[in-house]
Amino acid sequence: MVLVVQRTLDAGFRHYITTRDSEANPEQITRLENYYAANGTWTGANTVLTGRGTGVSGAGRGATISVADLEGVIVVSTDTAQIGTPLTSDALSTAIPLTVNEQQVGWLVRQSPGIQALGAAEVAFLDESNRWLTLAGLGATALALLVGSVFAWTLSRPLRELTHAARDLTIGQLGRQVDIRGTLEVDALAAEFNTMSKALAEAEALRQRMAADVAHELRTPVSVLRGHLEAMLDGLYPLDSAHVAVAHDQTIHLARLVEDLRVLTLAEARQLPLERAQLDPVALVEQVLEAFEPLALDGNIQLNRAIPAKLPTVVGDITRLRQVLSNLLTNAMRHTPAGGEIKVEIAPVADCLRFSVANTGSWLSTTDAARVFQPFFRARAASEKDKSGSGLGLAISYEIIRLHGGTMTVESRDNRVTFEFTLPCGD
């Protein structure tokens, strides 16, 4: 910028000097015309051009002033070397006509030498201007370097902290949180990093807890099965159908647990295949309730329903949705005391249907309600009543509903637990 300004200032200032020296002097033009009117010739008009004895400066510093006749030949000039030479076309185009009695009698030409037109004062002005421009440029450069360095450090410092925190994640220090103050973009990046780090820590904790739970769940049936087989091999137990049946039951339990783990893993990875079709929600619920009515009768539990006669269809996998309803009803049966009630409802909500399964005689704390859909989780109040089951039913149901594009929630109020899930309506 300094170089551009210096070049522009120099060229502009020189143009100004040249233009100023080339401007016509109206008084000089009048005196030249009066001189020709009085003498009828241009001979001796040098005194008018140079201003000698007139009190008027005819020529600017370094400028050449000439008078040419009508043919364009110079007859009078402050530079005697030009007398007798014809004007160039460029000079003639800028010449000023001289007239007497409305008749042209010649041409007045001013020619500036341009770059030589600068005197000591003008040169000093340009030198001083260039010196200050150079100093200003150096000062601006130093300031830009200082501000740029501060700005770069301000931007790089939080990024370095984020880099260190990310490196900690790679070596297993999950959950690392960073407290960064910077630009809006850096703050947003830090917030996303903290969220990701927290999610990774929670996922790792869940993975470790699930691995421990799986090992625990598998250990019991394997131990029972091994104990019975060893006892029969050692002759402590007779090899009869009763003891073989115990071992067989444990293998069935193991197979069910392994299958539940497979389904849950596929559902969480969104790889569980679904055979979607148009379904009648009323028929779906009635079929499941019909299978549970004998169990409710044996347990002295009222199995009620609140289902409208006409409802829109839903799109889903009928086998998986039956599995969800069966899991919810099985869970409700386990935790409903004799004389209690289980109520199944369907209600249209916006563009979907809401299914709910509520049972009396049990409760969930706020903490338990937040974790009830985690694999192998059992609430304290529920675990006191339920010693069976794999603890995967609700987790599988939650993932199946999520694969269908719905949501599942749980609410505990007034000694009643209500599980609700939604399914989008069909076309």
**Domains along the sequence of the chain with CATH:** 2-117 (3.30.450.20), 184-268 (1.10.287.130), 277-424 (3.30.565.10)
Measure the CA–CA gap between 336 and 190, rounded to whole angstroms: 48
The residues pairing with 68 across neighbouring beta strands, listed in sequence order, are 74, 107
Structure tokens at 403: 């694969």
Cβ neighbours for 308, distance < 8 A, ≥ 6 positions apart? 282, 346, 347, 348
What angle do helix axes 393-403 and 241-268 make, rounded to 10 degrees? 40
Q: Global pTM?
A: 0.55
Measure the CA–CA gap between 316 and 299, rounded to whole angstroms: 32
**Cβ atoms within 10 Å of 28's Cβ, excluding its own:** 21
Structure tokens at 152: 């770069």
- Cβ proximity of 406 and 419 under 8 Å: no
Taken in order 386, 391, 395, 401, the sign of the CA dihedral is negative
Each of the 427 residues of the chain gets a pLDDT tens digit; together they read 777 777 777 777 666 655 555 455 778 888 888 888 888 888 888 888 776 444 444 444 456 788 988 888 899 888 888 888 898 887 787 788 989 888 999 988 877 654 444 556 667 777 788 888 888 888 888 999 999 988 888 777 888 888 888 888 888 888 888 887 777 888 888 888 888 988 888 888 877 877 777 787 788 788 888 888 888 888 888 888 888 888 888 888 888 888 888 888 888 888 889 999 999 999 999 999 999 999 999 999 999 999 998 889 999 999 999 999 999 999 999 999 999 999 999 999 888 999 999 999 888 888 888 888 888 776 654 444 554 556 788 999 999 999 999 999 999 988 899 999 999 987 5
What SS3 state is found at 74? strand
Burial environment of residue 343 by CB neighbours within 10 A (0 to 12, 13 to 18, 19 or more):
middle
**Which pLDDT value is given to residue 60?**
44
Cα separations (Å) of 83 from 29, 76, 96, 112?
19, 6, 18, 17
